[in-house]
Amino acid sequence: MSETSKSPTVRNSRFSLRNFAKATFWTMTCYVVTYCFCSGFGQYQPAQSGEIRWGFGMSVTDIVIWSPFEANWQKYTTSSGTQSSRGNLLGYFYSPLIRLDRALIHPTQNYFGNEDL
């Protein structure tokens, strides 16, 4: 069957699927590359996990977490004991890569023990 005898719908759907795949690939590539740039200029910062609290309820600075440049995001325990997260817009945008980075390359350090958080 020649290219001209195919219906326009089939040709256009293949063409748009190919474009979608290319756009997805380049978007994800840019996402990872820009995160690597931010991570390259990142630093460890003191933070509160929420696991240790003063008697009046305020959490103690008990961990040191990796923070990519200008991207702050952290998982923590609230005073009621539930898990939550906090951060800025860039931190939430990169939060999947921040979690992966902290798990594989920049582990969280604990001030009061060696257990991993």
Domain that holds residue 77: 7-112
In a domain, 17, yes or no: yes
Closest-CA residue to 94 (of 37, 21, 46, 50): 37
pLDDT of residue 99: 93
Alpha-carbon distance 45 to 23, whole Å?
A: 35
Residues of the chain above pLDDT 70, percent: 84
pLDDT of residue 117: 47
Which pTM was predicted?
0.75
Decide: 100 and 83 in contact? Cβ < 8 Å. Answer: no
pLDDT of residue 76: 86
pLDDT averaged over every residue in the chain? 84
Alpha-carbon distance 115 to 52, whole Å?
A: 14
In a domain, 117, yes or no: no
In a domain, 97, yes or no: yes
Closest-CA residue to 68 (of 48, 46, 97, 47): 97
Domain total for the chain?
Answer: 1
Which of 30-34, 80-84, 95-99 comes out lowest in average pLDDT? 80-84
In a domain, 1, yes or no: no
